[in-house]
Amino acid sequence: MNRNILKNYQNFKIYFTFLMIWISIQFGNVVEDFIGYLLVISIGILHGANDLLILSVKEKVNFFNKKNLFVYLTVVLFCVLLFLIESYLTMIIFILISSYHFGEEHFNEEICNNKWLDIVYFSSYGLFLFSILFYFSSFEVKKIMIELTGTYFEKSLIYITFLISGILFILLNTYLIIIKKINSIQFFKELFFILLIAIVFANTSLILGFAVYFIFWHSMPSILNQIKFISGDFTKKNILYYFKKGIIYWIISILGLLILYYFFKNTKLLNSIVFVILFAVTAPHIWVMYKMKS
């Protein structure tokens, strides 16, 4: 049953990716951004809402285990302080750890090599995607970067990152084919997926393009894997249990974002505040997912 659900979701996400391409052709940036924000606020936030539950299951401890709670909150505080001290460095770190996390979740348990090879492989995949997104949305990325850090990524830097990460990803896949960790069909399937995602990035706004990948290619598969880890199977009861446990965190997050928007909507601080929150919750979430899969 687990395998059937995951296989069916593969078809589902491809269908919805094509649907988002169609929507981007039919509507303008306002509608695209609205859909993108709606997806991130709903499913995106939910996929990280059960981190403490996952830690408690992994380590067989109480939900509010003091050690886990302390480490989690310490990482959050460190991220906030880092942004206040050096915002540009924080942006670089955010992209790097997110790149690794996207690769880790996308390939899940399909590819297990040694620790360092996995880090390079997963990161090259994520950086390749980020560079494609940034290349096609360079104007929007530049605007946001200037608001957040006072500087921006030169297009030449984005292009160089695209070349290096892309070549590295291809070389590592060639190596994995040679040592028979994957076959050529898997490799070409991944290239097709990347091409499909690139088409999305090329035809949508920055917000919707990111949301399509983040939700359909990352968050939803992550939620399925989390449910499987927490409860062992995809039953209606287990799915409802996952949502029930995460709903309080989700509501608090939404209310917090609404309050921030109300007070800072007409200031340049809004993007900075939202990014700090995003980075502060992403870093400990990546730590939790790493522990879950280790």
Per-residue pLDDT of 39-79, as tens digits, reads: 888 888 888 888 888 888 888 877 777 888 888 888 888 88
Mean pLDDT of the chain: 86
Match 């989690």 to its residue by tokens.
72
CA distance 272 to 147: 7
List Cα–Cα distances, 27 to 59, 89, 107, 166, 183, in angstroms. Answer: 47, 36, 33, 31, 40
Q: Which of 70-74, 88-92, 202-206, 265-269 has the lowest mean pLDDT?
A: 265-269
Q: How confident is the model at residue 113 (pLDDT cuts 50, 70, 90)?
A: low
pLDDT digits (tens, 9 = 90+) for 6-50: 667 778 888 889 988 888 888 888 888 888 888 888 888 888 888
Does 266 score more than 90 pLDDT? no
pLDDT at 261 over 80: no
Percentage helix, strand, coil, to 5, in the chain? 85, 0, 15
Reported in sequence order, the residue ranges of the chain that DSSP labels E, i.e. its strands, are: none
Any residues with CB less than 8 A from the CB of 33 and at least 6 apart, and which?
205, 207, 208
Total-model pTM: 0.89
Comparing 129 with 29, the larger pLDDT belongs to 129
Q: Which domain, by its residues, includes 178?
A: 2-293
> Is the model's pLDDT at 92 over the cut of 80?
yes
Q: Give pLDDT, residue 133.
A: 95
- Taking alpha carbons only, the member of 160, 173, 163 closest to residue 117 is 173
pLDDT of residue 43: 87
b/e sequence 67-96, b meaning 16+ C-beta within 10 Å: ebeeebeebbeebeebbeeebeebbebbbe
Residue whose C-alpha is closest to residue 109's, from 197, 214, 4, 228: 228
Question: Contact 152/142 with Cβ under 8 angstroms?
Answer: yes
For the chain, how many structural domains are there in total? 1
40, 38, 94: which is closest to 286 by C-alpha?
94
* Residue 152 pLDDT greater than 60, yes or no: yes
Q: Are 65 and 56 in contact (CB under 8 A)?
A: yes
- What is the distance between the alpha carbons of residues 143 and 206, in angstroms, rounded to a whole number? 11
Using pLDDT thresholds of 50, 70 and 90, give the confidence band for residue 270. Answer: low
